[in-house]
Amino acid sequence: MGSEQERGGERGGTDRSRPLPLVAISPARDEERTLPRTIAAMVAQTRRPLRWVIVDDGSSDRTAEIVEAACKEHDWIRLLRRPDRGHRRLGGGVIQAFDAGLESVDVPYEYVAKVDVDLEFSPRYLEELMGHFEADPRLAAASGKVFLAIDGQLVENFMIDEMVAGQFKVYRRQAFEEIGGFVQEVMWDGIDFHRARSLGWRTQSIASPELRITELRPMGASDRSIYRGRLRWGRGQWFMGSWWPYVVASGFFRMRERPRVLGGLLIIAGYFAAALRGDRRYGDAGFRRELQAWQRARLGRLLRGRGVR
């Protein structure tokens, strides 16, 4: 079951509380600018993970050096190095790194978290989130809501309550294994929660000050620009199997977010460009049918004025 340190101690100090039965995995590539702030947020948790594996996915900057320094101070943080593939491969590459990190875990666990390293979050994030899992045995995955600092203010990155933020999500291990883990594809963080829902599990992003996730850069901006990220979002919707009226409605809704108007148009353009090219789609036809049925119901609810949450 591990040493006394693994059960709760930190080298050079006393632990504030018992660690959670949770392992956290963080793919990272060239993240020296934001990584120290994410490490500080994780170290400050009132209930820390049993193990946090940060996977250096071929960085050319000081990412590995920063993680190594954190490992020396906290024996529950581990560094896993992967060779440089020569480019940032979003979607599938992130999950390849995540899977490698999870395979390296050497402690028993009941929950698994995927954590980006360009985030800040409350010291009570994990402790409060675990309270929701304990209260609901059918809760498969959960997260807080995501915010971005713009002009000195925190602006929410809207997501419906059934969705779970891919930036920092926690899964019950049983549910995670039932859905087969994350797919190594773009839109992995949409496919997973729909698969969990179709198997009778609940998923939720929870609005709470203690569960606020602050992004240190706009979603999608890691791949050259946020504009490219919005096009990729649209292509991902095509791949996942989304219903075209739902994507159009979603694109119009996202026009109010930055980059205003253009961002939503790029989502729609990305989807239809992929359709016209005949790009491949997620191979599970039953999943695509169930997804589209859910999207029709959601859009119908919106048109009947029953809200978007």
Domain check: are 254 and 210 in the same one?
no
Residue 291 located in a structural domain: yes
Residue 193 has pLDDT above 80, yes or no: yes
Domain check: are 11 and 114 in the same one?
yes
8 Å CB contact between 46 and 17: yes
Residue 308 located in a structural domain: no
**CA-wise closest residue to 208 among 165, 253, 254, 153:** 165
Domain check: are 101 and 39 in the same one?
yes
**Domain around 66:** 4-215
Q: pTM for this structure?
A: 0.88
Domain end call among 215, 246, 265: 215
Domain check: are 91 and 210 in the same one?
yes
Domain check: are 154 and 233 in the same one?
no
Residue 307 located in a structural domain: no
pLDDT in tens, 101-120: 999 999 999 999 999 999 99
Residue 254 located in a structural domain: yes
* DSSP output for 278-307: T----S-HHHHHHHHHHHHHHHHHHHTT--
**CA-wise closest residue to 20 among 107, 169, 132, 127:** 127
Domain check: are 180 and 296 in the same one?
no
Q: How many domains does the chain have?
A: 2
CATH of the domain at 80: 3.90.550.10
Domain check: are 154 and 285 in the same one?
no
3-state secondary structure 210-275: HHCEEECCCCCCCCCCHHHHHHHHHHHHHHHCCCHHHHHHHHHHHCCCCCCCHHHHHHHHHHHHHH
Q: Which amino acid is at 164?
A: V
**CA-wise closest residue to 21 among 43, 40, 2:** 2
Residues in CB range of 64: below 8 A, 6 or more apart? 56, 79, 81
Domain check: are 28 and 101 in the same one?
yes
What pLDDT score was predicted for residue 77?
A: 98
pLDDT in tens, 48-93: 999 999 999 999 999 999 999 999 999 999 999 998 766 555 567 8
Domain check: are 253 and 294 in the same one?
yes
Task: Pick the range with the lowest mean pLDDT from 92-96, 132-136, 231-235, 302-306.
Answer: 302-306
Domain end call among 192, 215, 238: 215
pLDDT in tens, 207-242: 999 999 999 976 554 445 789 989 999 999 999 999
What mean pLDDT comes out for the span 180-208?
95
Domain check: are 159 and 230 in the same one?
no
**CA-wise closest residue to 116 among 219, 26, 222:** 26
Domain end call among 188, 215, 242: 215
Residue 61, CA atoms < 13 Å, CB-side half-sphere:
10
Domain check: are 99 and 210 in the same one?
yes
8 Å CB contact between 149 and 34: no
Percentages helix, strand, coil for the chain (3-state, rounded to 5) are: 40, 20, 40
What is the Cα–Cα distance from 102 to 241, expressed in whole angstroms? 28
Domain check: are 137 and 196 in the same one?
yes
For residue 97, give the H/E element and its range: helix 92-103
